[in-house]
Amino acid sequence: MRFGVVQKYRSFLPVNPGTPLITLGEGDTPLVQSTRIAREIGCDQLYFKLEGCNPTGSFKDRGMVMAVAKAIEEGSKAIICASTGNTSASAAAYAAHCGLAAAVVVPSGYVALGKLTQALMHGAQVLAIEGNFDQALQMVRTIVGRHPITLVNSLNPYRLEGQKTAAFEVVDALGAAPDYLFIPVGNAGNITAYWRGFVEYRRTGKSDSLPRMMGFEAEGAAAIVRGKPVAQPTTIATAIRIGNPASWRGAEQAREESGGLIDAIADDAIIEAYHLLANGEGLFVEPASAAGVAGLLKLARRGQDFSGKTVVCVLTGSGLKDPDTAMKTVPGMVAVPADVASIEKELGY
Ligand code: AN7
């Protein structure tokens, strides 16, 4: 039996007797030790937090379960979000679980196939606009001001409350906070939530140190790095194709308070890390999830020494979300005649 993050961490969350303890089994995701990348960068305490193991295949479930629980507590019957894909998949799943209506507004042509499939399968109303995520979010904000429907983007404060449980799990698993946390940055909610989680755990005596927060935006969508919104964000990592992050201030605060950094990472470096994770570590993540690892490789190759440090990279979503990007960037299959000799020949025997 899995209790989920709302019940497990209820003393750290806005849970009261009227809050339904709903769950799809989110949280309690594996923290797996690196093999190949650890060797490459000379860091023997490198770990990956596998958030793709959540029920809908991304970290979004941690915050969505909390936001939906509070929506039900408050008597809401419908939820809505703008999304680059994973938030919509998660919202649709928790709405289906709880019998709420869900509507999601997504940028047409820029949501990975698996995520769209999930939202549709879970029965959400999926509205694709000829515009980007930032425009979709703006429209959704207007709509929730006019109609009785609950916003479940991370502007909903319960989302980040739920998401901070991932930081708790990292500390629980390691017995201490890591020295560094590497994480992709899109709308900047997750880096904000992790920092809050680490700070709260230290304040309550569950840990006695804090990590440096190392966030990475895609170069074509690097608003925080450049210090101004990007009107037309571009990146192969569609999950983080966001030009005006809602939690911009939270990300800057995490960087400043932790002595960390927020940097930009090019698409080719994201794709390199994406493949290294898949074929060197056995971890198939979606492209956006590789951005933090790409950032770690970039810093290590520039000479930053991670030996003796404990490093955690958050792998935010499953590779199965986006089969199209995977198939476009791998060598093709080999068609062989249906006989043993032909197969042996291809195998080099
Ligand atoms: C796999 O689903 O914004 O910096 O609408 O799906 O907290 O936004 C997704 C973001 C990283 C960035 N990795 O996290 C959405 C959405 C994956 C993601 C991010 C997202 P934030």
What Cα–Cα distance (Å) separates residue 190 from each residue in 59, 61, 285?
Answer: 9, 12, 17
- Count CB-CB contacts under 10 A for residue 295: 27
Q: Which atom of ligand 1 is nearest to the CA of 183?
A: 11
Which pLDDT belongs to residue 268?
98
**Helices (DSSP H) in 259-348: which residue ranges?**
267-276, 291-301, 323-328, 340-347
**Per-residue DSSP letter, 211:** P
Which pLDDT belongs to residue 87?
98
What Cα–Cα distance (Å) separates residue 146 from each residue in 125, 142, 168?
Answer: 18, 7, 37
SS percent in the chain: helix, strand, coil, step 5 = 50, 15, 35
Pick the residue whose CA is nearest to atom 14 on ligand 1: 186
Helices (H) and strands (E) in the chain, counts: 15, 10
Judge whether residue 349 has pLDDT over 80: yes
- Count CB-CB contacts under 10 A for residue 163: 28
- Cβ atoms 316, 289 nearer than 8 A: yes
Each residue of 286-331: pLDDT tens digit?
Answer: 999 999 999 999 999 999 999 999 999 999 999 999 999 999 999 9
Which pLDDT belongs to residue 3?
87
Distance 34 CA to ligand 1 centre (A): 23
Q: How far apart are the first and last CA of the chain?
A: 48
Each residue of 160-174: pLDDT tens digit?
Answer: 999 999 999 999 999
Distance 240 CA to ligand 1 centre (A): 6
- Is the beta carbon of 58 within 6 A of some atom in ligand 1? yes
In three-state secondary structure terms, 32 is strand
Amino acid sitting at position 217: E
